[in-house]
Structure 1
Amino acid sequence: MIRRKSKNIRKRMKRLRSDMQEISREQGKIKEGQRQVREKFEAVESECELLRKETNIIMQQSMSTQLRLAFMFQILKARENHDLDQAAKLTSALRELIARENQQKETM
């Protein structure tokens, strides 16, 4: 009877060791999966930040283009109304705007 109990205990211990090894392997797989998810998440975050920066640049360029077009339209209206003095002032302002934008581009 004691041998039988001893044999049963050994079987249980062997099964427990086997179960523990399986659990350990599964935990390793889980950790690896978590690492991969973390890396993918960081890559997505990095790409989002890059897209935000590119979007801001595009918005600034769009605003700049709209401003230049507004100046050009005002210049055309002034010339149409034979207000050459106003047209000259607007042309000068447009040149200054373009010069400032070019300086900003050079410093980037």
Structure 2
Amino acid sequence: MNTLSRHKSPLALPFSKPRCRISLKNHLQRGKAKKLRKRMKRLRSEMDEISVEQGKIREGQRQVREKYEAVEMECELLRKETNMIMRQSMSTQIRLAFMFQILKARENQDFDQAAQLTSALRELIATENQQKT
């Protein structure tokens, strides 16, 4: 009877204690797995936030690059305009110098020199006009 009573009661089975150990071990593993899943979920959400922030940073860098390129283009245009103005100013100064020398030559009644200077001024203006076209 002793053997029958052992088999009738589930608590009296000889394997009941190891099952408790296994379930305790499983319970601990489940708890660790649950914590790990929570941690992984949190890490994924943090990675998503970082990804969004990196996207915003890339967009900001793209905008800064575009603005920088626009400023560089404008700077190059201003440089070209400045060079053109400097050439025009230099040309104007040379023409004024010729005109001043022509006036001085006429004032001194040196009409030959005035004629040479006038001819040189006309040639200068003609070459400048040819360079423009």
Aligned twin of 1:82: 109
Aligned twin of 1:49: 76
Is the counterpart of residue 31 in structure 1 residue 58 in structure 2? yes
3-state DSSP of counterpart to 2:109: coil
Among all aligned residue pairs of Structure 1 and Structure 2, give the percentage whose two residues are the same amino acid. Answer: 81
3-state DSSP of counterpart to 1:90: helix
Q: What amino acid maps onto 1:43 in structure 2?
A: A
Query: What is the rounded CA distance, in whole Å, between the counterparts of 1:42 and 1:33 in structure 2?
Result: 14
Query: What is the rounded CA distance, in whole Å, between the counterparts of 1:66 and 1:6 in structure 2?
Result: 87
Aligned twin of 1:59: 86
1:9 corresponds, among 36, 42, 56, to 36
Query: Tell me, which stretches of 5 or more residues in structure 2 are unaligned?
Result: 1-27
Query: What is the rounded CA distance, in whole Å, between the counterparts of 2:109 and 2:33 in structure 1?
Result: 113
Deviation at 1:8, TM superposition (A): 1.1
Render the CA deviation track for 1:3-62: whole Å, top value 9, x for unaligned: 322221111011011001001111111111111111111111111111110000000000
How many pairs does the alignment contain?
Answer: 106
Root-mean-square deviation (Å): 0.8
Q: What amino acid maps onto 1:9 in structure 2?
A: L
TM-score (norm 2): 0.77
Aligned twin of 1:102: 129
Q: What amino acid maps onto 1:10 in structure 2?
A: R
Q: Which runs of 4+ in 1 moved over 6 A?
A: none
Q: Looking at both structures, which has the greater relative contact order when contacts are Cα pairs under 8 Å and sequence separation is at least 6?
A: 1
Deviation at 1:105, TM superposition (A): 0.8
User: In terms of Rg, which structure is larger?
Assistant: 2
Query: What is the rounded CA distance, in whole Å, between the counterparts of 1:102 and 1:87 in structure 2?
Result: 22
